[in-house]
Homo-oligomer: A and B are copies of this chain.
């Protein structure tokens, strides 16, 4: 054990409370990041391709994001065919930025972890496999 007490051991230090579960789910993270990079919105089919989701899966997650107030869904026509347009709301953008701040903290922690791991871990005596 080194003498230096790492700052990293306060209770909840790795709880990442700000990791918004609505955004954190993998498919929704794809959707929200796609929409964040396309502020004028994305047509359903384009969004589906970008996120590699099925129609059903995309619909289901859009509904969750809409109910949470993170996106807006618009109906319209293009070349006489009905279309669905999805856009991030201002609230959605705000929450995405907050979420990404937490991701950045995790990346920072991970970079710190790689440095710490450079000294090979040693299992002290007296432990046996569970």
How far apart are the CA atoms of A53 and B130 in the complex, in Å?
21
Determine if A11 and B117 form an interchain contact, defined as CB atoms under 8 angstroms apart: no
Q: Which residues of chain B come closer than 8 Å to A13, judged between CB atoms?
A: 34, 50
The complex is assembled from copies of this chain, and their number is 2
How far apart are the CA atoms of A54 and B41 in the complex, in Å?
41
A interface secondary structure, majority: mixed
A interface residues, Cβ below 8 angstroms from B: 6, 8-9, 11-17, 19, 21, 24, 26, 29-31, 33-34, 36-41, 46, 49-53, 72-77, 84-85, 87, 93, 96-97, 100, 103-104, 106-107, 109-110, 112-114, 116-117, 119-124, 126-130
5 A-B residue pairings within 8 Å (CB atoms): A8-B37, A16-B29, A75-B130, A87-B123, A100-B106
